[in-house]
Amino acid sequence: PEGLRYYVNSCNKETTWRRPSLSAEAPQRPLARPVTSLFKTHNISAHAIKPHVMFRLFYIILFYSRHCCYISVFLLFLLQINCVTFPLPGEGPEQQLLKPEEWSYCDYFWTDKKDPQGTTSVAGFEVLLQKQLKGKQMQKEMSEFIHERIKIEEEYAKNLSKLSLSPLAAQEEGTLGEAWTQLKKSLHDEAEVHLKFSNKLHSEVEKPLLTFRGDNFKKDLKKYDHHIADLRKQLASRYASVEKARKALADRQKDLEVKTQQLEIKLSNKTEEDIKKARRKSTQAGDDLMRCVDLYNQTQSKWFEEMVTTSMELEKLEVERIEWIQQHLRQYTTLRHETDMFNQSTVEPVDQLLQNVDPAKDRELWVKENKTGEVRPVDMDI
Ligand SMILES: *[C@@H]1O[C@H](CO)[C@@H](O)[C@H](O)[C@H]1NC(C)=O
Ligand SMILES: *[C@@H]1O[C@H](CO)[C@@H](O)[C@H](O)[C@H]1NC(C)=O
Ligand SMILES: *[C@@H]1O[C@H](CO)[C@@H](O)[C@H](O)[C@H]1NC(C)=O
Ligand SMILES: *[C@@H]1O[C@H](CO)[C@@H](O)[C@H](O)[C@H]1NC(C)=O
Ligand SMILES: *[C@@H]1O[C@H](CO)[C@@H](O)[C@H](O)[C@H]1NC(C)=O
C-alpha cells in the first residue's frame, strides 16, 4: 500500500510500472464469451436452464487507476444442479472414473434423480440407500418363503406319520403281509426324514436369512443417510452464501460504474472520494465472494469424499448380502438332495420285501396254519 503501484497483466503475467493503455486491457480470454453464445454452443435453450443451471462469475480486479476502474470479468461456466457444481458437458478436461471397469457405486450416483412427475428429486445417495433397504426386505421375504416351505414339510411329515399308524390291511399275511407292514413303516421313516429336513431348513436356512443384519442395520443406514444429507444441507447453505455474495458484488460493481461515470461528466466534486469508497467496497465484496466460494468448495469436497467412502461401504455391504444369501440357498439345495437320498433309503426295504413276495410260499404258510385236514376221502366200500 505504501510502495509504488505496479501492474500485472493477468493474461500473460507481464508486469509493468506504467499503466497499460486501454487497448491492451481489452479482454483476451475466450472465456469472456457472451452467455447466449454458450447456450448455442451447448445447444441449451435459455428456458430449459432456468431453475437448475446457473453460472459462477469470478470478478477479478486487475487494477484501477485514478479515474477508471478496470475489471476483468471471468465467466466460469459450470452446471449447478441442486447446489452441486458439475462441469458443463464439453467444457474442461474429461473426467476419469474413480474405479474404471467396476461399475462401482462411487462412480454413478453423483446426480440427483428426478421422479417421473419431475416434482421432487432424490439424491443419488438416496437411491443407493433404497437399494439397501430393498435388499433387506428381499432377504426377509426369502426367509418367510422358506418358512412356508418348512410348514409344508412339517404337515406332510405329520400326515405320513398318521397314515403309517393306520390299521388298514393290518391282517394281510405271509410275505405279502410283511411287505405291506414294511410299506406302512416306511411312511413313518419318511416322515422322520421330512421332519429332519424341516428342522434343518429352519436352523440352517430360515433363521440365518431372518437374522442376517439385525435392527442395527437400519440404524446404520439412517446414520449414513443423515450424515450425507447434513453435508448436502451445508452445501446448500454455502451455495446460498455464494449467491448472496455474488449479488452484493454485482451491486457494488454497478455502484462503482455509476460513480465513475458521474465523475467523468463532473456531476459532483464529491465523487472522487465516493469512488475511493466504492472501490474499497467493491474489492471487499470481491474478497467476500472468494471467501464464500472457498467455503463452498471445501464443503463440496467434504461431501465428495464422504460420498465416495460411504457409497463404497454400501457396495461392500451389498456384495456381502448377495454372497450370504447365495450360500444359504445352496444349503437349501444340499439339504433337499439329502432328503431325497434318505427318502429313498426308507423305501428300499419295501422294495426288497416286495421282491421277496412269493405266492407259493404264502400258500404254504397259510395252508400250514389253517389247514383243516389233509386226509382225502376214499370210495365207499360195499
Ligand atoms: C395333510 O392332510 C390333510 C387332511 O388330512 C390335507 O388337507 C393336507 O393337504 C395334507 N397336507 C399335506 C402336505 O399333505
Ligand atoms: C465543492 O464542494 C465544496 C465543499 O466541499 C463547495 O463549497 C463547492 O461549492 C462545491 N463545488 C461544486 C462545483 O459543487
Ligand atoms: C473452488 O474450486 C475450484 C475447483 O477446484 C477451484 O478452481 C477454485 O480456485 C476454487 N475457488 C476457491 C475460491 O477456492
Ligand atoms: C419321498 O419319496 C416319495 C415317494 O417315495 C415322494 O412322493 C416324495 O416327494 C419324496 N419326498 C422328497 C422330499 O423327496
Ligand atoms: C389262520 O391261522 C392263523 C394262525 O393260527 C389265525 O390267526 C387265522 O385267524 C386263521 N385264519 C382263518 C381264516 O381262520
| Nearest protein Cα to ligand 4, atom 2 | 343
Instruction: Reply yes or no on whether the pLDDT at 18 is more than 80.
Output: no
7 against 301, higher pLDDT: 301
Q: Which of 26-30, 102-106, 174-178, 360-364 has the lowest mean pLDDT?
A: 26-30
For ligand 1, pick from 155, 164, 165 the residue to mutate: most ligand atoms within 8 Å of CB: 155
Greatest mean pLDDT among 98-102, 114-118, 135-139, 211-215 lies in 135-139
Q: Angle of helix 271-356 relative to helix 124-164, nearest 10 degrees?
A: 20
Among 86, 293, 295, the mutation site with the greatest number of ligand 3 atoms within 8 A of its Cβ is 293
Ligand 5 binding pocket includes 369 (Cβ within 6 Å): yes
Q: Is the pTM of this model over 0.75?
A: no
Per-residue confidence band for 22, with pLDDT thresholds at 50, 70 and 90: low
The grid cell for 124 is 443419488
What's the average model confidence in pLDDT over 181-202? 95
Residues 224-271 pLDDT 10s: 999 999 999 999 999 999 999 999 999 999 998 888 887 777 766 677
DSSP 165-216: T--TTTT--HHHHHHHHHHHHHHHHHHHHHHHHHHHHIIIIIHHHHHSS-HH
Instruction: With both helix axes pointing from N to C terminus, report the angle between 215-264 and 124-164 in degrees, rounded to the nearest 10.
Output: 170
Helix (H, G, I), strand (E, B) or coil at 155: helix
- Check if 287 has its Cβ closer than 6 Å to any atom of ligand 3: no
- Considering the chain, what percentage of its residues have pLDDT values greater than 70? 80
Query: Which residue's CA is the closest to the ligand 1 atom numbered 3?
Result: 159
- Kindly give the number of the ligand 4 atom that is closest to the alpha carbon of 197: 13
Nearest ligand 5 atom to alpha carbon 370: 1
Q: Which H helix or E strand runs over 125?
A: helix 124-164
> Would you tell me how many other CB atoms lie within 10 Å of the CB of residue 102?
11
Pocket of ligand 3 contains residue 297 by CB under 6 Å = yes
Q: Which mutation among 294, 295, 298, 302 tests ligand 3's pocket best, with the greatest number of atoms within 8 A of CB?
A: 294
Cell 475466450 belongs to residue: 30
| Residue pLDDT, tens place only, 306-357 | 999 999 999 999 999 999 999 999 999 999 999 988 878 888 999 999 999 9
